[in-house]
Amino acid sequence: MSNKIQRTALFLTAASILALSSVHVHAAEQAPSREELLSMLKQQQRQLDELQAMLKQTQKQAETATAKATEAAAKPAFLDTVQIGGTLEFEATETEAFTDADTSDLSLAKAELTFSAKPHEYVTTNIVALYEDGSNNITLDEATIEIANTEAFPLYTTVGKWAMPFGNYDTAMSTDPLTKNLGETKENAILVGATHNGFSIEAFAFNGDTQKSGEGNNIDQYGLNLAVEGEEDGLLYNMAASYLNNIADSDGVNDALTGATALKDYVGGISLYGSLSLNGVSASVGYVKATDSFQTGELAFNGQGAQPVTWNTEISYTMDILGKETTFAATYQGTDEALALSLPETRLGGAVTVGIYDQTSLTLEYLADEDYSIAEGGTGKDGHTTTAKLAVEF
């Protein structure tokens, strides 16, 4: 566009010169009057003024177009923000149960497909479809809308279906920690949070699957999560404390509960978590506990109302072996009054995970479980599970 402007300016300038030249030629033939010369000069000035105005207008239009083009280039197209990913896990297992029964199996343990998009700098959407062994259906595991841009503003909110921020169940093992069986709570909920310099506080509320006897179906379940994470001289740390006013609505307790819609009262839950990581070595601890006992007819242990507790400790080390990222992990876990949740009293285990290809890993895991004693309603026996898992992420 600037070249066109330059050509136009040159043309008009040349025309002006020719016009003035014609004046001199005409003057040689017949000298114009003073009034005629002033009129001709005024006409040329008007043409120059018009040219200058046109140049300014064209320059302004060019600047506006350039600004719009720059803004459009800086803002990614919607399809550029769409991400599709997933996980496939195939397992071979050999198990000796507390009843001395030996079993082995091959299974597609998990098939997960995720979709995420960012239609606006403050809006992120996420959808997770999940199939797990033992289920004949593909379920909508998560679907959320997050309104957040914490780099510009510390407050954020999330709505949809997902696991509430009650406990942290990250692990380097193949099998989830026992704390997840007691604490994980997936619900349709609303969450409001704030974060600053690694500190965060979140409050959430939902209408769960459980209800108090004689009361309506209301949004009366809620929780709070406090967390801090950061890095100090290469040391990564993460700590969190959570509260839930009704642990009966956790996935594990709800499945084992009797009279879920006619509870005498809600039983709260607390969760504590901490992890440290330095130079490939990571250590973590987790603790989830009901704050009171359930009624005997709701969830029992040894003839009384149960007050379930779970805890886990884990240590892992990641290193390169023959150019392959390899992680060694060990765990020691336990429970108390959790027999009704089909959990062992103690668990000791180890695992080795090797990244055989990009996004592809092979894990070998061994878990040794000890059941509750006969006096507590268990078998008093030991059991074990050996697992080989091939996992692919994309």
> What angle in degrees, to the nearest 10, is found between the helix axes of 2-29 and 34-74?
170
pLDDT digits (tens, 9 = 90+) for 176-216: 999 999 999 999 999 999 999 999 999 999 999 999 998 88
Q: Which residue has the tokens 């979709």?
A: 115
Q: Determine the average pLDDT of the residues in 270-291.
A: 98
User: How do strand 281-290 and strand 309-321 relate by DSSP bridges?
Assistant: antiparallel
Q: Determine the average pLDDT of the residues in 90-113.
A: 97
pLDDT of residue 280: 97
pLDDT of residue 30: 59
pLDDT of residue 73: 63
pLDDT digits (tens, 9 = 90+) for 47-62: 888 888 888 888 888 8
Q: CA-to-CA distance for 4 and 138, rounded, in angstroms?
A: 62
pLDDT of residue 303: 95
Strand partners, 270: 243, 289
* Chain mean pLDDT for the chain: 91
Kindly report the pTM of this predicted structure.
0.80
When computed from its CA atoms, the radius of gyration of the chain, rounded to whole angstroms, is 36
Range in 24-33, 137-146, 318-327 with the lowest mean pLDDT: 24-33
pLDDT of residue 68: 74
Torsion of CA 178, 179, 181, 183, to 10 degrees: 180
Cβ contact 391:363 at 8 Å: yes
Tokens describing residue 205: 């509320």
Q: In this prediction, what percent of the chain has a pLDDT beyond 70?
A: 90
Q: In this prediction, what percent of the chain has a pLDDT beyond 90?
A: 78
Cβ neighbours of residue 136 under 8 Å, at least 6 residues apart?
none
Q: CA-to-CA distance for 217 and 263, rounded, in angstroms?
A: 13
pLDDT of residue 117: 96
pLDDT of residue 76: 63
Cβ neighbourhood burial of 337 (10 Å; 0-12, 13-18, 19+): buried
Q: Which residue has the tokens 């801090």?
A: 228
Report whether pLDDT(95) > 90. yes
Q: CA-to-CA distance for 82 and 117, rounded, in angstroms?
A: 4
Q: How confident is the model at residue 5 (pLDDT cuts 50, 70, 90)?
A: very low
Tokens describing residue 150: 């914490």
Cβ contact 273:218 at 8 Å: no
Strand partners, 82: none
Q: Determine the average pLDDT of the residues in 235-252.
A: 98
